[in-house]
Amino acid sequence: MGMEILHYKNADIHFSSHGKGRVVVLLHGFLENLTMWDDIIPELASKYRVIAIDLLGHGKTENIGYIHSMEDQALMVKAVLDSLNLYRYVMIGHSMGGYVGLAFSQLFLSNVKGLCLMNSTPLTDSPEKKINRDRAIEAVKQNHKTFVRMSVPNLFASYNLIKYKDEVSVVVEQALQMQAQGIIASLEGMKLRKNQVLALKKLSVPTQIIIGQNDGAIDIESTLQSVENTSTEIVIFPDGHMSHIENKSALTETLQLFIRKCYR
């Protein structure tokens, strides 16, 4: 596995590159980083070239502003892929990474061979969720470490918190490395994000939404409704927001089938 760095807008962008062949791009979610894919990458990299990127303000990648819009993130992702001379890829985005994948697809339609929204949604924030973002921003300003310790466990199905106690701790410990600025910039960016239901419908390549039946971070009903009677494939897992932990083997299999379909 090769860790690499791109200098972009006065910031260091960290990403990793694995394997050879047609390209799969992995985008992590809010408070996460590229190590979330560690158990899945070996499976994918035996057949594909896999690029995993630390998004702005996350992992080892620095901040470029006080708001990181989904478009800011998408432009950075494009710069990384261009620097590798890669122009066709399947994108898989977890949660906020899915929002970035949607923004990317809108900006660079012809580069995308498929888009998987994993525990994510094409919908914008509801008015209630926007208010919660503002509360979260205030909480981060008060004490971002407390915010991280309280938020991360909510991403798992509550009945899984004991079973995945060690994994929860790892996610918390990693998120605690983030600066408050990076956390706030993403909360602001997610709050601003557009409704992408039409953009998703317009994609003529394969698209997929993976839902966790007990995911408290996504509005499951309205997300399912938004893709009803469209070509977006829906896959439902039994657990929470953290499919890569809570439903790891089913997820790996689902992603492999999806990528195969995109490159058929």
Interface residues with ligand MLT (CB under 6 A) are: 29-30, 95-96, 190, 217
* Residue 36 or 90 with smaller CB distance to ligand MLT: 36
Considering the complex, what minimum distance in angstroms separates the CB of residue 172 from ligand MLT? 14
Provide, rounded to whole angstroms, the least separation between the CB of residue 88 and ligand MLT: 26
Of 95 and 254, CB closest to ligand MLT: 95
Closest contact distance (angstroms) between CB of 28 and ligand MLT is 8
Phi, psi of 63 (to 5 degrees): -85, 150
Cβ distance to ligand MLT smaller for residue 30 or 237 = 30
Q: Which is nearer to ligand MLT, 210 or 217 (CB)?
A: 217
CB-nearer residue toward ligand MLT: 77 or 96:
96
Let me know: does 52 contact 41? Beta carbons within 8 Å: yes
Shortest Å, Cβ 47 to ligand MLT: 27
DSSP secondary structure, the chain, as one string: -EEEEEEETTEEEEEEEESSSSEEEEE--TT--GGGGTTTHHHHHTTSEEEEE--TTSTT----SS---HHHHHHHHHHHHHHTT---EEEEEETHHHHHHHHHHHHSGGGEEEEEEET--SSPPPHHHHHHHHHHHHHHHHHHHHHHHHHGGGGS-GGGTTTTHHHHHHHHHHHTTS-HHHHHHHHHHHHHPPP-HHHHHH--S-EEEEEETT-SSS-HHHHHHHTTTSS-EEEEESS-S-HHHHTHHHHHHHHHHHHHHHT-
The minimum distance between CB 224 and ligand MLT, in angstroms, equals: 16
Nearer to ligand MLT, 242 or 255 (CB): 242
Output the smallest distance, CB 180 to ligand MLT, in A: 17
DSSP string, 218-255: S-HHHHHHHTTTSS-EEEEESS-S-HHHHTHHHHHHHH
Shortest approach of ligand MLT to residue 91 CB, angstroms? 15
Of 112 and 117, which has the nearer Cβ to ligand MLT? Answer: 117
